[in-house]
Copies of this chain bind each other. A is one copy, B any other.
Amino acid sequence: MELTRKILEGDVRAAARLMTMIENGASEARAALKSLYAHTGSGYIIGITGPPGSGKSTLTDHLTDELRKRRKTVGIVAVDPTSPFSGGAILADRIRMQRHSLDADVFIRSMATRGHLGGLARATNDVVDVMDAAGKEVILIETVGVGQDEVEVVGTAHTCVVVSVPGLGDEVQAIKAGVLEIGDVFVVNKADREGANRTATELEMMLHMAPDTGGWLPKVYKTVATKGEGIAKLVDAIFAHKAFLDERDLRKKKGRERSERAFMALLQETLRARTVERFKRNGSMKEMIERVADRELDPYTAVEEILDKIGL
């Protein structure tokens, strides 16, 4: 296939075209993804997550600088909130990242967090696969890190970087706790702000509360992303985690988890789509939903009726 061949040769425009097809849920995307799949699995996937305002985009930007200095090709998948009015990602941060846009070895793609029929996680997985097949050695996935799908996306990366900032209050601390278990490397960004040491200490204390299972011990790093401070050490930490995984053959295990989740997301989506398709033709599903809305039929019984008809 022409599109597949071009992507494997590293053609950026061909890859971007396929990503748009993925985002739009176009069925042609499937054929291309099928033939690309055998060429995936060599990219190293890094998830970067943290609350809004923690400076993830700036951090990703500077991480990319450092990775380029170390001669790695980089793919960036930014999972963004979307404006319903503009129809696209509107982050000012994104614009800053465009300074990498002249570098052929950096590929940046923003994803909308909404409107993905069948789930954001599935679409993001597909886009990561395209970057992987296109030969990007390191793939950064940046998300706001709140929300089930988003956490799943970064949680299945090879290395997950959890970003925090000083003084965002209790609620944010709680969210940080929510992603503690998926973090391999922790960052207190904006570390020139008051309270940075306290935030770092608190984080370290929380990490020490986790049971020691003899595995990787996450550490806390301080950065000032806007000034590029602490970035080289952070990249060292990420590569130390990568080396840890490789030495113990754990990278394959992480990859397996990611494959399983991706498979399940795809299975679930396809099952629903195919079932809706089958029942749409004779209008019986629409009628059923009306009855559920009118409380004549409960949704559990309705779903069971459909599964009976399918024979599942």
Chain A, interface residues (CB within 8 Å), range: 35 or more
Give the distance in Å from the alpha carbon of A211 to the alpha carbon of B276 in the complex: 32
Given contacts A174-B83, A274-B312, A299 and B113 within 8 Å (CB-CB): no
Given contacts A92-B170, A175-B52, A299 and B263 within 8 Å (CB-CB): yes
Give the distance in Å from the alpha carbon of A300 to the alpha carbon of B171 in the complex: 40
Contacting pair A310 B307 (CB below 8 A): no
In the A-B complex, list the 9 residue pairs whose CB atoms are closest, starting with the nearest.
A147-B147, A81-B178, A37-B298, A84-B181, A259-B293, A83-B177, A271-B271, A268-B272, A256-B293
Contacting pair A81 B175 (CB below 8 A): yes
**Cβ-based interface call for A21 (8 A):** no
**Cβ-based interface call for A154 (8 A):** no
Residues of B within 8 A of A90 (CB): 174, 177
Chain A stretch 258-312: residues in CB contact (< 8 A) with chain B? 259-260, 262-264, 266-272, 274-276, 278, 288-290, 292-293, 295, 298-304, 306-307, 310-312
Residues of B within 8 A of A180 (CB): 83-85
- What is the CB-to-nearest-CB distance from A301 to chain B, in angstroms, rounded to a whole number? 6
